[in-house]
Amino acid sequence: MEFFDMISPTALSLPANPLPILGILASLLAWLFLKSFTVKNSKIDSRKHKSEGNEPFVTPLPNAILDDPTVTPPKLYRPFRHGPNFITMGIRKLGWDNWIEMDSYFLRYHDMKAAELKKEFHEHVKYVDNEATRDACFELNEELVRYLTHRYPKVYRLEGVKVHNSLTSESFAFPAATPDEALATSALLVQDDLVIMVKNDDGEYHLDAAAVCLPGFWRLKEKFRMSLDTLHFEAGVPHYAAKLQKAMNKFFQKLTPDKPVERNNFFIQLDDGLHWSHRMGDQQGTEVASWATANSRGLAVDEIHFRSERQTLRRLPRSNAIVFTIRTYFEPVTKIAQEPHIPGRLGEAIRSWDDTVSFYKGKSHWDKILLPYLDEQDKLQKERGEIQSEEANFPY
């Protein structure tokens, strides 16, 4: 009941000299007024504290690399171990400085992406046309521009409504006008492929937007709108149901914007196609590429490539979507086999796979060429005393 309901006019009957009573009443009213004011203010304060606790997360700015990042060669991610090698989630905490990596292959990746986009834009850029997904496309572009202009100021500059890339002399509208533009611009700004996973009404995360130009073995249209589970079941990921499904779904549900992660994997590829492995099938064809369609006839060791992805995952704070970046590191095996420890450790890792993993990695297509070569290089390294040096720590 409110104060003015309690002191209704009919409840008051005034005595002959009402002054003292009126004085008391006035003080009481003043006291109650002040009290109500203080309570109201303390409510605002407590609301303020609450909303401070719920303030939208703002991504921390990265430290700047002041030099040209494209003078640095690609990082030597060699994510295979001595002893047993299992397929695992293998996620590690990601520092904000390292969301997007750039190196001396930037222009090669950029030009390949630009050519793919020019050839068939909508094979590589897609989004589901609903509000949440459109917003996520814009948010990804905003986050990337904010990150890149601070991390690599020598390359990226924001001026008015344009973001400039000094390496390519490109200027992109910022903010982008459409989700397609936001995705394509983002793809051209970085070496990575970009995927946006959005929670659908079924409670699962689906691949609802992406800019994928360098996937190697799969086409965006084959995976578009698939749930996390379907993506991995369709790809035949070994032991997915038994070892990965539950943990991965839990991870997607629980991921918070302040806790980005990264992981690395590797594949053996039969050719030098960064954007598409032509020995796996025709890029323009309709058949899903897999080891079942692979052509390894007459394969020579110098055609074989080591393909390793560095993937990051983070939740976007505004749209709540999850961004999955896929950065491919790609070298001939004959090149990486010159690095100390690598031929020995790679051969050991490959031999440790069980049948399911071996099938998934297409081992029967290349093992008779690759393994003897790795053994020979390992022997040479031992003879030359090259593996006395310390091995780096995982992921190497």
Q: Which is nearer to ligand HEM, 163 or 270 (CB)?
A: 270
Q: CB within 8 A of 343, min separation 6: which ones? A: 337, 373, 374, 375, 376, 377, 378, 381
User: What is d(CA 150, CA 138) in angstroms, rounded to the nearest whole number?
Assistant: 19
Can the peptide bond before residue 340 be classed as cis, meaning omega within 30 degrees of 0? no
Which of 99, 217, 306, 353 touches ligand HEM by CB under 6 A? 217
Q: Does the protein bind ligand HEM through residue 359 (CB under 6 A)?
A: no
Distance of closest approach, residue 326 Cβ to ligand HEM, in angstroms: 7
Q: Are 128 and 169 in contact (CB under 8 A)?
A: no
Can you give the C-alpha Rg of the chain in angstroms? 30
Q: Does the protein bind ligand HEM through residue 248 (CB under 6 A)?
A: yes
Q: Does the protein bind ligand HEM through residue 292 (CB under 6 A)?
A: no
Q: Which two tokens stand for residue 213?
A: 């130009």
The closest of 204, 224, 201, 196 to 134, measured between CA atoms, is 196
User: Which listed range, 163-171, 173-181, 217-225, 275-283, lies at the site for ligand HEM (CB under 6 A)?
Assistant: 217-225
Q: Does the protein bind ligand HEM through residue 207 (CB under 6 A)?
A: yes
Distance of closest approach, residue 198 Cβ to ligand HEM, in angstroms: 11
Which of 59, 98, 249, 265 touches ligand HEM by CB under 6 A? 265
Which of 209, 313, 337, 346 touches ligand HEM by CB under 6 A? 313
The identity of residue 29, as a single letter, is L
Q: Are 184 and 125 in contact (CB under 8 A)?
A: yes
Distance of closest approach, residue 226 Cβ to ligand HEM, in angstroms: 8
Which residues in the 76-115 window bind ligand HEM by CB under 6 A? 87, 89, 91
User: What is d(CA 388, CA 344) in angstroms, rounded to the nearest whole number?
Assistant: 13
Distances (CA, A) of 174 to 178, 184, 235, 321: 11, 12, 36, 21
Distances (CA, A) of 9 to 3, 5, 12, 83, 258: 12, 9, 6, 89, 58
Distance of closest approach, residue 96 Cβ to ligand HEM, in angstroms: 19
Q: Does the protein bind ligand HEM through residue 324 (CB under 6 A)?
A: yes
Q: Does the protein bind ligand HEM through residue 373 (CB under 6 A)?
A: no
Which of 218, 233, 291, 396 touches ligand HEM by CB under 6 A? 218
Q: Which is nearer to ligand HEM, 36 or 253 (CB)?
A: 253
Q: Can you give the binding site for ligand HEM, defined by CB under 6 A? A: 87, 89, 91, 195, 197, 207, 217-218, 223, 231-232, 235, 237, 248, 251, 265, 313, 324
